[in-house]
Amino acid sequence: MKHKETMTSDNEKISPSDDKAATADPIRPDLAEVIRRHAFCLDENRPDAVARRQQKNQRTARAYITELCDEGSFIEYGALAIAAQRGRRSEEDLILKTPTDGLITGIGSVNRSWFADDKARCMFMAYDYTVLAGTQGFFNHKKIDRMLKLAHEQRLPLVFFAEGGGGRPGDVDAMGVMIAGLDLSTFGSFARLSGAVPMIGIVTGPCFAGNAALLGCCDVIIATSDSNIGMGGPVMIEGGGLGVFKPEEVGPIDVQTQSGVVDIEVADDQEAVAVARQYLSYFQGTTPGWEAADQLRLRNLIPENRKRAYNVRNVIKTLADTGSFLELKPKFGPGMVTGFMRIEGRPLGFIANNPMHMAGAIEAEGADKVARLMQICNAHGLPILSLCDTPGFMVGPEIEKRAQVRHVCRMFVVGSHITVPYFTVFLRRGYGLGAMAMARGGFHESFFTAAWPTGEFGAMGLEGAVKAGFKKELEAIADPQEREALYEKLVADMYQRGKAINMGAYLEIDAVIDPADTRKWILQGLKSVPARKPDEAGHTFVDPC
């Protein structure tokens, strides 16, 4: 067969054999320089930096991205940047010691084997702690601004590895063009991304000052057990005359999980990457395959004795597709359980009262946790399932010291603005304003409001209602046993009146269902409600707390 000839710009004929010979030639100097510069960024050419990470049982920022990204999908932006310190160090030293100016950025995909390319695409930003302690330098600020502009334009979900020490004072090259540098757009642009796309923050060590300020804008924070997070690190604390502290003394993980800063605590960086992949998947769509537990088990998870507590997490795990349950903030606001799950592969958020803590009464912190979960789901188009078993809002002088009125009312305000499908299932108690808040403001505000046969309802708790409503009658009986007998009879009468089946008969709820049919109800609800476009969200950002 005759080879087809091609033409150069100078009309010189080149045959395929010439092409093969050309590729065997030495790499020309300009390309060699580019290859050499990029090579300084790679972990295999930075053994000392990698060894320092290994001593702390940690991997590098580049290793995190490599593991999280689908193979071969990552393209890096701004890899040739170096620290703005040419005025005090040689360029060769900066190339060797400050590759990427300590910030690795780029675009790739996650979970592409499950989801289409347009759903799998993501943006990655990772501060590199091996470069000047992951500090924020002049050029990496410029780089992150460029990436944030792209994220806004292209609606790219963001995965942000935040480990680092905040602002960097040693970038002397920038002193000729700025004084304080407080006019930069990084923080405003980062925060503006909230509500537009899912934002995941990951911490695997110390994270202070500017790094923490960006981290705190994320929808969810995943942190390893050896992490420390603070708006000011040891240097800033000492500079403010507030004492001398080691990094591990500032914002340790037990403080930040109980305060609600950290949503998900993980053992190490490998688990952090795995959880980030799982979290992203809920916003990428329906998974192709699923398994579920025997739903008949749900019939026996609520004790027949209405005064006995139970573990609502067992209900959620049985109801959800196997392995799809992901809980947020388990140590903060323990009276509520919130997170994500799937039903036949379809993702949704959930909120649930926890009868194991204060009998499931709604406290300020739990209300905040629920309101924020509602915002995340509403911003990114996830349906919400509410599993209710509550005696209502917590009351009393002590709870009011925690701004109970303002915090619990967030559930009403945020709930009233929800535009995604909302389903309410009463597992047992549905009393007072707290039950209404769990049902998005009222029992007829959800797409459906159903109850299990164990459901019981009232304007307030039955025992309290009897004591308040029949106080005179009870006090008129001198004999303690007779008084107790009347009390128990009145409670029993109110229980019969407020049983789920009676609520259904009066149409105050939509249905009383077999617990084993709960998945069917949720699935049919998901199929029956029109999909909502992201730009129809009633709340355009996600509160940091």
Q: What confidence tens digit (pLDDT) does each residue in 94-107 have?
A: 999 999 999 999 99
Same domain, 485 and 514: no
Neighbours of 311 (CB within 10 A): 13
| % of residues, the chain, pLDDT over 90 | 77
Same domain, 470 and 522: no
Q: What is the pLDDT of residues 459-498, one digit of tens each?
A: 877 777 778 788 888 888 888 888 888 888 888 888 888 8
The answer as to whether 316 is a domain residue is yes
Residue from 371, 349, 370 nearest 421 by CA: 349
Instruction: Catalogue the E-assigned strands of 485-535.
Output: 511-512
Q: What average pLDDT does the segment 270-277 reach?
A: 97
At 179 the pLDDT is: 78
Stated pTM of the model = 0.91
Same domain, 434 and 364: yes
Cα separations in angstroms, 486 against 306, 307, 470: 19, 19, 10
Same domain, 441 and 465: no
Chain length of the chain: 545
Q: What is the pLDDT of residues 300-313, one digit of tens each?
A: 999 999 889 999 99
Domain boundary among 237, 254, 282: 282
Same domain, 411 and 492: no
Same domain, 358 and 219: no
Q: 475 or 420: whose pLDDT is higher?
A: 420
Cα separations in angstroms, 258 against 123, 250, 252, 327, 358: 30, 14, 10, 14, 17
Q: What is the pLDDT of residues 31-51, one digit of tens each?
A: 999 999 999 999 999 999 999
Position 539, amino acid: H
Q: What average pLDDT does the segment 21-31 reach?
A: 76
| Residue position matching structure tokens 């049902």 | 439
Query: How many distinct structural domains can be found in the chain?
Result: 3
DSSP at 531: P
At 9 the pLDDT is: 41
At 531 the pLDDT is: 66
Same domain, 276 and 382: no
The answer as to whether 9 is a domain residue is no
What's the half-sphere exposure (Cβ side, CA atoms, 13 Å) at 396?
9
Same domain, 386 and 484: no
At residue 200, the 3 state secondary structure works out as strand
Same domain, 126 and 251: yes
Same domain, 153 and 190: yes
At 537 the pLDDT is: 58
CATH number at residue 349: 3.90.226.10
The answer as to whether 63 is a domain residue is yes
| 20: pLDDT strictly greater than 90 | no
- Rounded Cα gap, residues 151 and 157, in angstroms: 7
The answer as to whether 15 is a domain residue is no
Q: Token pair for residue 171?
A: 């970038």
Domain of 225 in residue numbering reads as: 25-282
Position 457, amino acid: F
Same domain, 65 and 204: yes
| 322: pLDDT strictly greater than 60 | yes
At residue 252, the 3 state secondary structure works out as strand
At residue 366, the 3 state secondary structure works out as helix
The answer as to whether 18 is a domain residue is no
Same domain, 468 and 518: no
